[in-house]
Every structure is written in C-alpha cells, then in structure tokens.
Amino acid sequence: MFGNLFEEDYSSVSSSQYGSGKKLKTKGLEPPAPREFTKLSGIRNQGGTCYLSSLLQTLHFTPEFREALFSLGPEELGSLEDKDKPEAKVRIIPLQLQRLFAQLLLVDQEAASTTDLTDSFGWTSDEEMRQHDVQELNRILFSALETSLVGTSGHDLIHRLYHGTIVNQIVCKECKNVSERQEDFLDLTVAVKNVSGLEDALWNMYVEEEIFDYDNLYHCGTCDRLVKAAKSAKLRKLPPFLTISLLRFNFDFVKCERYKDTSCYTFPLRINLKPFCEQSDMDDMEYMYDLFSVIIHKGGCYGGHYHVYIKDVDHLGNWQCQEEISDSAVNLKAPQNEEETDDPLVVLKAILLQEEANQIPVDQLGQKLLIKTGISWNKKYRKQHGPLRKFLRLHPQVFLLSTDESTVSLQRSHFPQVPSDPQSHEQIAHTLASEPPGLRDNISCPHWFDINDSKVQPIKEKDIMQQFQGKESAYMLFYRKATLQRPSEAQANPRYRVPCHLLKEMDAANVLLQTRRAECDSANSTFELHLHLGPHYRFFNGALHPAVSQTESVWDLTFDKRKTVGDLRQSIFQLLEFWEGDMVLSVAKRVPAGLHVYHTLDGDELTLGEAEIADEEDIFVWNGVEVGGVQIQTGFDCEPLLLHILHLELSGEGSECEQLVESPHVFPANAEVGTVFTALGTPEGVLLMNSVESTDEECWTAIPQEDMKKTFREQGLRNGSLILVQDSDSDDNSLLSKQGRWTSSMNELNWLQVKNFCQSGSEEKQVQIAVTMHTVVFDIRIKAIKELKLMKELAENSCLRPIDRNGRLLCPVPDTSTLEEAEVKMGSSVGLCLGKAPTSSQLFLFFALGTDIHPGAELEVIVEETLSVRDCLKIMLEKSGQQEGCSWQTLQHLL
C-alpha cells in the first residue's frame, strides 16, 4: 500500500541534493514565498499527500521526538554523500526526517517539500497522488523508522515515546484464579458508533467487565470445567505520548457498504487516565495527558482531505487570533478617532507596528498606507506635511531611516511596553528581537494553529470543539503527558538542539533564498522605458514627429521602478551629455497622428511605481514649453485626432467634372468641428460624419449647424472617422440623398486613382483612370503606365495594389480580375508597384520581425500554397536577413 516504505532504497535518492553545505532544491523560476506572519512553515501537497503532511507536522511539533532524532549524528546514521560506497551504511529515512524538520524550523519558506522524503520511502509518483489512511501510515512509518534505527542509540526511540501496554484479565468466579495476557500498543483505536465521546469509549474498554455466564461460560484451567468469569482490560503502562485513533469508518452489513460516522464525539483538552489504569497509587498528575494535535478528516469514506490542529508547545510561531488581526485592520481602515487619522505619525506607527520585522521599504510603506486607509499619502498628507521621505526625515525621534533612505523602521523607544523581568533583561531583549510587536502573548497562553498543507493559520482552543462532529471532524488525537516540561531555552528558539551541520546547511539555504528573492525582486522591479528626445523631434501636421532617424530620436532605457522620478531625471542627464537647461519628463503616447504629450512627471521624491509609470512607457524629454520653436499643447483634452475628409474638387484646370477626394487631416480633440472648413479653405457648408464603428459604411449623419461649435470629441469623432464636406447649396450634384445613401447621378464616381510607386524620378505622381466595375485590372495597369509616362518594361514586372485609408499598400490584385471580382471600390486609390501579382496558386503574406509591443518593419513575401510552414519560415528569414540557425521561438514571431 505504501510502496517500499520498509526498505532502505538508497538508489532513489540523488546525492546532489544532500550533505553538509548543500543548497536546497527549489523548483520553478521564482523562489518559494517566505513564511507568513505566523512564522511557521507548511508542507507542500504532492498531489494526494495531505495525510502525510498532517502526520509529519504532528511529529515535528512533538519536540521530544524531534530532538531525539536530532541527537543521532552522522557517526550513527551515516552521510548521504557516502551512499554509493559499498561499505557505508546510510540510514536514509531518519536522515531525511532530520533534514525536513530542520527545514520546517529554520528555512524561511512558506512550505517545505516532502519529495526527498517520499523518494527515500521508494514511493512512485502514483503513490504520491493516491490518498491513504493516516492511521495506517502512522504505524507503517514508525515500523520503518524502528527498522532503520536498529543498531543505533535510537533503536528504542519509537518504543520509548509511543509504546504502551494493555493487560487483559479473566477472573474465575469460583476459584478466583486470574488469567492474564499482556499486549503492546502503538495507538489506541476507540469506537465512535453509539458512543458519546472519548472518555465514554475508554470506560467501555477499560472499566466495564464482560461477564461469561449461562450459555457463554469460561473454561477455567484451575477448576478444569466451565465456570462463570469476568473479563476486563486495563492500561498497565502509559507512554509519554498517547495516540488515539477514532473508528469513524464502519461497514453497514445491511447495505453492504462502508460509511463514515459523523455523529458527535467529544474529547477533552486534558484527560485523566487514572480510572482506566491497572495501578492507581501514583500522583494524579502522572495520569494527566494534554491534547496537542488533532488530525481532521474532511469528506467521506472513499476520499477527502486531511489537515491538522496543532498546539505549539515551544511557542515557535507567532500566534494571534484572526478576530484580533481583522479588528486591528478595521480600526486602521476606519478609526473611530478622526483626529488620530489626521495625524500621519499615528497612522504610520500603527502600520510599522504590524510589520513582522518593524522594517519595510519606504515605497511599501506608502502602498500599505493606501491599502489600510484607502487614500494615498499624496492626496491626504502631502499638501500639509510634504513628501513621505521628507516627513520621515523630519521625525528622527520616531522613525529610523537606513543610510540610503530605502527602508524605514520604528525607533526602539516607540515599541509597545513589555513587562520587565528583573531577573532576565537579556531574555526580554531576545524576545523583542525574535517576536514582532502585537504578536507577543503570555507564555502560558496555548498557541493552536490550523496547518492545512502549505497554509498555517492561528486558531483558538474553542475552535477544536467544531471538530466533534460532521463530515469534517476529528480522526486522530495526540496527547502528551502533562508532567513533560520543556526547558526555557527551547521557548521561541527554533535552533534549539538542531545539529551544527544542519544549522549550517539551513543558514546557507536562507542566504541562497535571500539572494534569489533579491534577484527576482530586482528582475520584477525593472521595466523598459522609451525616451523620446525633444531636440530630435519637430511638430507638424498636428503632432510630434522624429526629425531624424528613429534610432537617434528614441532611446530605450531599462530602469528600476523602485527608484524615484528624480533618480530617473539624474540618470537621463548623465546619458545626455549634450543637454543644456531645464529637463522636463512627460508621459507621452503614440497616436495615429504621431506622438502626443499627456502629463508631466511631478514630484522627484515619488517612485516610478507611485507615479504610475508602466512598463514600456513612452517618456518625452524636453524643456516643458516648446519643441523646435513651436509651443506644445499637452493633455488628453487636446489629443490629436487623425480624420479623413471627403470633399469634391475639380478634376483638372478648366474641367467642369468634379471628383471626390479623400485627404487626412489632424485636429486637436478639443477643437471645434467647424474648423474643418478653415483647414480646407472652403466656405462653410454641410458636414456629414461616418464613425469608424459604423457597421453600415453608407450610413452618414449630418451635423446640425448649431453643433458646429462643439468639439470633435463631444461630437463623438475619433481617430479614423470620416467627414464628408458638401456645399450648403448643393442639390442636384449632392453625393448623398436625403436618407444619407450614395446616389447614382450624372456625376457618379467612375474612375480609379493610380499612384506611382515604381519610379521616383517620374514627373507624374498619380493619374486618374476612367473605369467601370467590369474593367479588367490588366487594362487599368497598362493604361496607368502609359499616362504616367513610365518605361514599357514595367508592363512585365508591375502590379496594382489597393491603398487603405491609412496609406498602407494591401495585397496585389490579379491582372485577370475585374474591379468587382477584386473588390476594388470605384473612386478609391491603388498603387502601381514593382513586382508581379501572385498567381492563383500563390499566397501573398505580410510579416514582421519583432515583438507584440515593438513590431519591426513590415515585410512581404509571395509563396506557393503547397509550401510547408518550415520552408515558408526559411524564406521569411532570408527576406529579413536573419541567420538560418534562428530558433523556432524566434521564427514564430515572424508570423
């Protein structure tokens, strides 16, 4: 059932993970989380090992067992480094238990792993995923330990701590002869069915007598005949630690199925076993046992989950009931005394007093203030008290800042007063250093914790009563003799009796964890900023644009977001040796019209996190006033909008035929809609708009004359919106009917505008070709080459490509298609480009080499439809100039 738990399977342990000075094995890229406020470590569930975790935590919080195991040194147990030596005897299971207990005591991680221990058991992954009975595991584990410790000074460890003796007696009613049989027990299994509680069950087992009479007589050896007799059982020898298994699982012989008894079953926190013992002449305290662990099963007889309530005998953890924690948090968030919340000294002190080490980064202090009070320092206190760091500096009698002012703690004089002990001031100092304020309790107060796999929560003693009954109820009880006393040196001292070689290994593990967390924290605290250098920009067409190359205009900077705005400014000053005068840092954003500046970063003492700077943020570096002699308007209100204006104009000099022209224009979002006429240089007329969200491309809405004073944003226009301009007296020549639909008038659009993308030296840049929807693309292309006066050779190596609203060239259209088949609209623009159009068996693909955030320049390629993806990617690599050895991950970014 439990694999090879009885066998010493040396081959299942990796030597690279063990031995003196070895570092802890941690899976995953990020280090394990540190312990929470309880300062106790849980155990990670390997899939179905909650029963194992509950039992191991119980053994760990049995200090006498833990220290007895620690007392066995390498000279007796061997060393895992020697496991491959044929003459060496390495006792793996006790060594792994030692190491696990040391981790639970000393390593600063939220949960320890039992993988190495279960490997030493010889368990497979299937065994780790399968849940078993914790009572059976307890017996098998102890048996395996006893087997492993044979020949060492710990050979009697299990027997000495957990084994007791029961004596069964039968007394003859005739001759009074006593026949007895003694049996050893590791745990007591007590009935639950039809029993009110533990004491009632023990009374039935060890006080009540079974009478043999009538048809059920006893054969007495002395009398040599059947006689009346009485049978009873007593506890002859009590162990230091008493394990009691509750028989909650039974079998229903009527239904022929197992079931779990969920009835109420009480058990005391302290039990007197004197009535159940054979000898009763000792002091009553010798029979007293205190409950210290309750393993709880939640679920039915065919599965469920285990967790454990444990009493922290040595006060190793920080204990505070949840009600007090939540009450203190509520009091901070909504204090009754408003005057105290107006005093930042009171609030900051309260936050620091709740910290485990009374020391946190200043940045986190501001964040905790926001979480606790619901309002940031800048909004509530900065106007009156200045920046947070300055406030801390001005109160050195209360706050202690580190030399670099990155962390803050309370001065010792502001800790809560602790009753002094004249006999041991050093002990008080040690207690103050080891236990955070607000979590120190009277040493006599019982500290109970609910340990549920990796989670550890404090509970009260009264919470144990909730496990008397129900689907989630007590399953195993662990009592310790009340006379067992712990030495004062063990109180709140997790290093007590831990062997030196394990202390060194755990200390090294903590150093490694701190290093890894610092590296991880640093990695998570850095982000990329894109610095747009103002002197390299110019303002035209309503937005900022690079005056030189992108490489010279935009610099990428990796920076720590925990640093301040002032630190960022200083770093940029050092990078830009050419900079003169004031430097202003502003948050900018790329919009379709270009780059726009939104707001300036104020407050040099603010961290970039507090200033809400995001990863991949665009920062504009300038003097805060002008760029290239042009004063820059900033903010969301004046954000530039790229709109497409449709208006009629004569097709040529002396021509009476009008054509519809589409031209992009940029307007500030807070400009009046009527400025469209000013931009076009036309008298006022009628404006119709077609939003980019419109599902019907032919649905236009006229803008009333009274709305001409509204801004573009108020009118609902945004980037990409279409505006149609008409003369106010247009009637017969109107492009739209009164219903807002395109009309078929004598001036119906019957042309296609062809732009020259083949030869820059050509005098003609574009030409208008008369067409119908049935005109073949080849004919349009040849006619455009002639009218643009281009070389005849282009007829064999050119193609027509539609141009979208943003000026982007789309896929080439086949020469054999008509405009209708190619879905090219009348009145639209196409580009005459070099290169042949793809055939019917080919594909035209766009691709870019870069990332989602920063895509590179868009490239094009024509491939056969039957080409494999791998070969297609190779062609893309060649096109982009990349090496053939590029990884698949890089190749995938090309699509």
Under a CB-based contact definition with an 8 Å cutoff, are residues 865 and 843 in contact? yes
Separation of CA 721 from chain center: 40
Tokens of 630: 């042009």
Taking the C-alpha atoms of 30, 31, 35 and 36 in order, what is their torsion angle to the nearest 10 degrees?
A: -10
Is 172 noted as a catalytic residue in this protein? no
Q: List the catalytic residue out of 155, 305, 530, 893.
A: 305
Tokens of 816: 């054999």
Under a CB-based contact definition with an 8 Å cutoff, are residues 687 and 725 in contact? yes
Beta-carbon count within 10 A of 339 CB? 8
3-state class percentages of the chain: helix first, strand second, coil last, to nearest 5: 30, 30, 45
N-term to C-term CA, the chain: 52
Under a CB-based contact definition with an 8 Å cutoff, are residues 315 and 39 in contact? no
Q: Which residues pair with 560 in a beta bridge?
A: 526
Is 50 noted as a catalytic residue in this protein? yes
Counting every residue written for the chain, the total comes to 895
Q: List the catalytic residue out of 50, 638, 833, 872.
A: 50
DSSP 601-625: ---TTSBTTTTTPPTTEEEEEE-SS
Which strand ranges, in their side-by-side order, compose the sheet holding 584-591? 537-540, 543-546, 594-600, 584-591, 617-622, 526-533, 554-560
Task: Report the C-alpha gap between 583 and 66 in whole angstroms.
Answer: 64
Give kind and range of the element (H or E) at residue 235: strand 229-237
Strand ranges (E), 455-605: 455-459, 472-481, 526-533, 537-540, 543-546, 554-560, 584-591, 594-600
Cα–Cα nearest to 122, from 146, 145, 92: 92
Task: Report the C-alpha gap between 133 and 422 in whole angstroms.
Answer: 51
Helix and strand numbers, DSSP H then E, in the chain: 24, 41
Cβ contacts of 190 within 8 Å, gap of 6 or more: 198, 201, 202, 205, 244, 245, 246, 247
Task: Report the C-alpha gap between 89 and 112 in whole angstroms.
Answer: 27
Tokens of 542: 């309503």
Task: Report the C-alpha gap between 359 and 357 in whole angstroms.
Answer: 5
Task: Report the C-alpha gap between 864 and 839 in whole angstroms.
Answer: 9
In Å, how far are 64, 314, 492 from 487, measured between CA atoms?
Answer: 11, 9, 11
Tokens of 191: 């009935």
Cβ contacts of 277 within 8 Å, gap of 6 or more: 206, 234, 235, 236, 238, 287
Task: Report the C-alpha gap between 249 and 356 in whole angstroms.
Answer: 43
What letter does residue 397 receive in the DSSP assignment? Answer: T
Task: Report the C-alpha gap between 844 and 39 in whole angstroms.
Answer: 62
Under a CB-based contact definition with an 8 Å cutoff, are residues 351 and 372 in contact? yes
Cβ contacts of 282 within 8 Å, gap of 6 or more: none
Under a CB-based contact definition with an 8 Å cutoff, are residues 407 and 389 in contact? no
Catalytically active residues, by annotation: 50, 305
